[in-house]
Amino acid sequence: MKNAGTKEKLQHSNSDGKENDQLIESFQLQVAHYKKEKDILLALSDDITKVRDKNDLITLFKKRIKGLYHITHTIVTLIDYKEGSYTPFLLDNDGSPIRSHDRYSEMVQSHFSLNEPFIQTVLKSDGPISFVLEDIMDKPDSPPFLRVNYEKGVKSILMTCLMKEGKPMGFIHIYSDDVNGFSEEFRSVIKGIVPQISGAVSNIIKNEEILNKEKEKSFLLDFSSAIATVKTKEELASAVHNALRKLSPECGFIIRRINEDNSTLSPYVYHFNKQLDRKMLAAMEQSRFPINDGLQNRILASTIPLFFSAEKELQRGNASGYVQFWKELGISNFVGIRLRNAETNLGILLLDIEDINLELVQGICSQISIAMSNIIAHEQVDKKQNEQAFLLGFSTDITLVRTKQDLQDAIFTVLDKTMHTKLAMIRVIDDDGIHLSPFMFDRSLFDNGKNDFEKMSSMRITVDEAYTAQVLASKDGVMFNVEEELRNGNDYAKLWKSTGLKNMYGLPLRVNNKPIGTIWLLANKLSQLIVKGICSQISMAIANIQANEKLFAYKKKLEVENDYLKEQIKTIYNFAEIIGSGEEMQKVYRLMSLVAESNTTVLVLGETGTGKELIARAIHNSSPRKDKLMVKVNCAALPSNLIESELFGHERGAFTGAIDRRIGKFELANNSTLFLDEIGELPLDAQAKLLRVIQERELERIGGKQVIKIDVRLVAATNRNLEEEVKAGRFRADLYFRLNVFPIHLPPLRERSEDIEALTHFFVQKYSRNTGRKIKKIAPRVIQQLRSYTWPGNVRELEHLIERSILLSTDGALEEVYIPQNTDPGKKDEAHLLNRSLEEMERSYIIDTLKRCLGKISGPGSAAEVLQIPGNTLHSKMKKLNINKADYFGN
Ligand SMILES: Nc1ncnc2c1ncn2[C@@H]1O[C@H](COP(=O)(O)OP(=O)(O)OP(=O)(O)O)[C@@H](O)[C@H]1O
């Protein structure tokens, strides 16, 4: 249009030379103008091609365009079609007046509507379009930035669309403080460079996207390597905090974990940059927030992060205290994302953030989920190990339990201190099999409800009582929720409630699968493993205490009926082959007579050579099983690889070398007695197998499939201190329990020197017969010598000594015995002796001798005779050394 007009003018002014000259001049000016415009365009387009990022573009506006034309500032906005708005993308407004406007930062962050008439005009215009601000700024719907500019002295604006693939992608806004600030040339230049600037902006956006993607990738890589080393909750909290800080410095977070009840969530780890009220925080940490609160359940069900407003949640009626808490902290909006490993929901992540990069947060969440599953798995393993260690400790404590008081101490220590659990009651089933009597309880528990407790604990209930029956019928016990029971009208629950604990656990106590009572524990929570372990230990201990109590009662009774029983022992039980009638052996006979006829397991304890096997045989021979042979296993003599096959037998081909089927000792002893000699020597793995067979009273041969029921009475013997062995971990506590049902202690020979004479006669007779040397007389000196020796090898040693001495005897008389001079125990004593004064040694030697001579000071068989000093001398020595009757008859 412009060119056509100039040509017309040229043709009209041909007649007038001056006018013509002017025209030519004007034409030349125009041409010069176009040339300049073209040069500017060329130079600018050259510069635009070099634009790589936002800064380059800003420099282009700031330095190049501002250098050519008088403008105040330039802004590039981008269109968001989804939102129907446009928003600032790039600002060249360094020295511009509007920076000092109050609403400047608001403008920079605003999204302006695409629907308003002003911007619609720009969109429809073919090329740059300018406006005088005063004309348009106050029209309804005009964008506020027009007025903001005007208020800072800006007068006009030139706008043009940036295009991408034939569609507007944004706008260039150019401002001037002159009402007619935009010349034709300027418009033309801007129009000329718009396509290139559009291209440059597209490239910048693309580059920024790539850059952001790279940043995300490296962020996630950093986070994943930080989280790979996380082992504890604390480390997880700090890894998440460090990562989130990079995304948004003020971002607080909380991870909640789904509780074992599967219906609530509790805080797991968290971090807030706010000042938190400690009390509130502690309350929050303890809380269990129901999953189905309309927020947590939505997060857990959603594959994508969800945005929430605290205010709206409260309006909606979300009753979970945490929303109010968050609001009070000043958190108005937050994002919730589920934490899930494989198909399992672990918990949720809540972020105090308004704007998030979805992909990034999802990446973070999957890393957190993995770390969390690992930590939980670790925690579970630790917990199991602790529980097992705890049970082991408990089992050692229980091993030492002899009395009710011991058991009470052990239980209270363990339950109260370690498990935060209270023993409400142990009831045991009476002999009638119907009633249950209170056995033990923690009185302190019921301080608030003393009367109720007295009333209830004195009640003798039966096995049919509803709660007891339910517990006895259960496999692993029943848990009663105190509140629920209270609502259901359970009379006991009032009492339970007074303790402040949440649950009552009723558990059956069983020995050999036979119910012996119930135990009632109050706790907030109890682990299955611990409950089971403790119950079986306590059951065993109660059974042992009961057996001991019965034994004690029997003993008492026996003392009263001593004479009668002595007679009975003689007539009914034939322990003829056992020599010794002193007080110590009488005690042994009494115990034997008590247990012989039953099927009770007997544990014979005593030093080597004290006659344990002899006692075992006597018990068998006095039992109803006497018609079958007693089967003996020497546990110390079994090669470890054959123990199992020896005890339980094997099938043909069960292992290399198993050519034939073999019947084990257990099977062999069916309906008879199995004597397990030297049981303390049995290796631990064999102990476990033995325990199983004893418990279940059935076995399978190695390599066999058939379960064989056995009816075997067990008698075990050892010269070891099994309690010590249990403590040292060499003997299983549970096996010890099974064996220690009825212990019989055999006294060492040195403690029953009153039997030495009878034993000597017995062995002299036995070996006279065997060797054909008839001994008619034993010198009294010999007996004295034998009584004064300590007999570390006990009766066996005496037996061998007599056998040897007979061979060396002459003339049918035993005049001499060859007692060893130095024995090991003597050596042990040496060190002890060296530390004692001569007087002390003399004193204790005289007391020992007096004891052995049953207090006889002078005359035949007396201490004076043994010491080879006159009786008077011994008397005066005793006086000098202050030896009284009580010293040698005291114990
Ligand atoms: N009171 C006794 N009367 C008669 N003989 C006895 C008596 N006590 C032990 N003996 C004899 O002493 C020897 C050793 O006894 P036994 O083998 O029963 O002892 P033990 O305690 O089982 O020994 P170890 O612990 O070494 O196996 C046997 O010959 C036994 O007959």
Locate 878 and state its tokens: 């005793």
pLDDT at 823: 45
Which range in 261-270, 636-645, 858-867 is most confidently predicted, on average pLDDT? 261-270
The 10s digit of each residue's pLDDT in 653-673 is 777 776 777 888 999 899 999
Which of 190, 209, 340, 346 minimizes the C-alpha distance to 266?
Answer: 346
Cα 803 to ligand 1 centroid, rounded to whole Å: 15
Q: Does the pLDDT of residue 829 top 80, yes or no?
A: no
* Residue ID of nearest Cα to ligand 1 atom 10: 611
Cα–Cα distance, 31 to 40 (Å, whole number):
14
The per-residue DSSP string of 573-598 comes to ---TTS---SHHHHHHHHHHHHHTTS
Atom of ligand 1 nearest to the CA of 613: 18
Q: Ligand 1 pocket, 745 CB below 6 A?
A: no
Pick from 421, 431, 496: which is nearest to 460 by CA?
431
Candidate of 610, 719, 754 to mutate for ligand 1, largest count of ligand atoms within 8 Å of Cβ? 610
What CATH fold (topology level) applies to the domain 561-747?
Rossmann fold (3.40.50)
Please, where are the H alpha helices in 528-631?
528-560, 562-572, 583-595, 612-621
Residue nearest to atom 23 of ligand 1 (CA): 609
pLDDT over 70 percentage in the chain: 91
The alpha carbon of 578 and the centre of ligand 1 are apart by a number of angstroms equal to 9
In this prediction, what percent of the chain has a pLDDT beyond 90? 31
**What's the gap in Å between 824 CA and the centre of ligand 1?**
21
Mean local confidence (pLDDT), 273-289: 81
Between CA 527 and CA 423 the distance in angstroms is 15
Q: What are the residue boundaries of the structural domains of the chain, listed by start?
A: 2-33, 50-210, 229-381, 400-552, 561-747, 836-891
Q: Is the pLDDT score of 473 beyond 90?
A: yes
- Model pLDDT, residue 453: 64
CB within 8 Å of 878: residues ≥ 6 apart: 846, 857
* Pocket lining: 613 vs ligand 1, CB cutoff 6 Å: yes
In this structure, CATH architecture of domain 400-552: 2-Layer Sandwich (3.30)
Ligand 1 within 6 A of 132 CB? no
Cα 735 to chain centroid distance, Å, stands at 27
Which is nearest to 222 in space by CA: 206, 240, 196?
240
CB 790 within 8 A of CB 868: no
803 or 414, which is more confident: 803
Which residue lies with its CA nearest to atom 30 of ligand 1?
611
> What ligand 1 atom has the least distance to the C-alpha of 746?
21
Fold equal for 50-210 and 400-552: yes
Instruction: Determine the average pLDDT of the residues in 28-36.
Output: 76
| Under 8 Å between Cβ of 573 and 596 | yes
How many Å lie between the centroid of ligand 1 and the Cα of residue 766? 14
Q: Say what the pTM is.
A: 0.42
Q: Which value does ipTM take for this structure?
A: 0.97
User: Does residue 799 line the site of ligand 1, with CB under 6 A?
Assistant: yes
Residue-wise pLDDT for 483-542, tens only, equals 998 898 887 788 788 777 889 999 999 988 889 999 998 888 877 777 777 788 888 888
CA–CA dist 459, 475 (Å, integer): 25
Ligand 1 close to Cβ of residue 758 (< 6 A)? no
Please give the average per-residue pLDDT across 405-431, as a whole number: 80
Q: Are 675 and 613 in contact (CB under 8 A)?
A: yes
Checking if the pLDDT of 824 tops 80, the result is: no
* Whether residue 8 has pLDDT greater than 70: no
pLDDT tens by residue, 194-245: 998 999 999 999 988 888 888 888 888 888 888 888 888 899 999 999 888 8
Q: What is the pLDDT, as a whole number, of residue 158?
A: 95
The one-character DSSP state at 449 is G
Separation of 609 CA from ligand 1 center, angstroms? 5
Q: Which CATH architecture has domain 50-210?
A: 2-Layer Sandwich (3.30)
CA–centroid distance, 852 to ligand 1, in Å, is 21
The fold for domain 229-381 equals Beta-Lactamase (3.30.450)
Distance 797 CA to ligand 1 centre (A): 9
Higher pLDDT, 692 or 861: 692
| Shortest-distance atom of ligand 1 to CA 608 | 25
Return the pLDDT at 757. 92
- If you average pLDDT over every residue of the chain, what do you get? 84
Q: Is residue 518 within 6 Å of ligand 1 at its C-beta?
A: no
Cα–Cα dist 628/614, whole Å = 17
